[in-house]
Structure 1
């Protein structure tokens, strides 16, 4: 309580003092560009994923604009040691996401390389995934996917380069007959998501859907 008095929580956008469990004030919440995607219906993210791999459904919470508030929020989560931002984003997602009859069997987040994980101290997707797991009563597995390389090429832009990223990830255990929901923070080119998806799809009779915090 004393520390809260000395160092009050402030809105990420306007710097006004807000409740300790919030990210932005009520006024600035209106400036977040939520996508209003409907899981199970065609949307921008689903169409982009389908160009790269067979996807069942796709959902993005926010739009990731150049100077957008969503970019500030994700940046705080990834680079400013504010792991709790993931929990808040998951709560926002849970209020807006309805799986209907397409509820996945398993939640899997894109992993960090162990060296990157040690540098950052946490995987920005874990608390997000665990919060959604509890809300929707879907199990999660943080160890199913392994990232094999510390760095990856940033210039991979299309399907012609997919072979260059095929070994970026690998499966650590058998997985079959599962509808897997792949979770990542931001969807940009889609190469990372595609690399993970193909590893799961080639394992057996699996299906893949996608959930991201934001789509660029």
Structure 2
């Protein structure tokens, strides 16, 4: 490990300084991250956005996602920079700032990649993040409950066609009911993806859903 660190040192995603191999940013750049300071047990901006789309119990976003922001660079490195271990780092930040109190879900579920996309990327950026939370919080996780049915979203469809596409974007792989499920994704933008996943879970049985995302746009 020491030789690898010398040959390929870990660098801050923001300023490119050499940092410890268990970090994503240096101390100076960490202070530039815009954390939302959401309270999982109370209503917040993400909760309000989700309630316009589907019934929700709680919601939590760790960071604010803005163009050229440090949080954007962190997540882009996680997704596209082959730095999968950043998922564990973000999970540890989440554990420090998110308090379930008496609102622990029964199951953690990740938004899936299409198998072709998974093969191209080599990993799902949510898995190490979720596995870390699962281990520390002692809540089971399931990376296979939801299946993505299409390789990529249609970009140039009419509104009605896009709505139909979103409704069929995911399917559920097994029967599940009477569960409080925490759906995990990286970035919440329009909410269309999260809504599509949530409705599949809600339709499957007498389930409740909550939301956790690394960042919200």
**Cα distance in 1, alignment partners of residues 159 and 42 from structure 2:** 24
Does structure 2 retain, via aligned residues, the 8 Å contact 1:157–1:191? no
Does structure 2 retain, via aligned residues, the 8 Å contact 1:14–1:28? yes
1:42 corresponds in structure 2 to 43
1:102 corresponds in structure 2 to 103
Q: CA deviation at 1:156?
A: 8.3
Structure 1 spans left out of the alignment, 5+ residues? none
Calculate the aligned-residue CA RMSD, in Å. Answer: 1.7
Does structure 1 retain, via aligned residues, the 8 Å contact 2:180–2:209? yes
Q: CA deviation at 1:163?
A: 3.7
Does structure 1 retain, via aligned residues, the 8 Å contact 2:154–2:162? no
Does structure 2 retain, via aligned residues, the 8 Å contact 1:162–1:195? no
Secondary structure of the corresponding residue to residue 89 of structure 2: helix
Does structure 1 retain, via aligned residues, the 8 Å contact 2:110–2:126? yes
2:213 corresponds in structure 1 to 212
Residue 83 in 1 paired to residue 84 in 2?
yes
Secondary structure of the corresponding residue to residue 60 of structure 1: strand
**Cα distance in 1, alignment partners of residues 157 and 60 from structure 2:** 23
Q: CA deviation at 1:17?
A: 1.6
Matches within 5 A, 1:155-194: 162-194=163-195
Does structure 2 retain, via aligned residues, the 8 Å contact 1:89–1:128? yes
Q: CA deviation at 1:164?
A: 3.3
**Cα distance in 1, alignment partners of residues 146 and 194 from structure 2:** 12
Secondary structure of the corresponding residue to residue 15 of structure 1: coil
Between 1:206-215 and 1:19-28, the stretch displaced more is 19-28
Does structure 2 retain, via aligned residues, the 8 Å contact 1:107–1:141? yes
1:136 corresponds in structure 2 to 137
**Cα distance in 1, alignment partners of residues 105 and 158 from structure 2:** 28
1:3 corresponds in structure 2 to 4
Q: CA deviation at 1:13?
A: 1.2
**Cα distance in 2, alignment partners of residues 111 and 158 from structure 1:** 24
**Cα distance in 2, alignment partners of residues 98 and 27 from structure 1:** 26
**Cα distance in 2, alignment partners of residues 151 and 16 from structure 1:** 35
Between 1:192-201 and 1:146-155, the stretch displaced more is 146-155
How many matched pairs? 216
Residue deviations 1:185-216, cap 9 Å, x none? 00000000000000000111100000000000
Structure 2 spans left out of the alignment, 5+ residues? none
Q: CA deviation at 1:11?
A: 1.3
Q: CA deviation at 1:161?
A: 5.6
Secondary structure of the corresponding residue to residue 9 of structure 1: coil
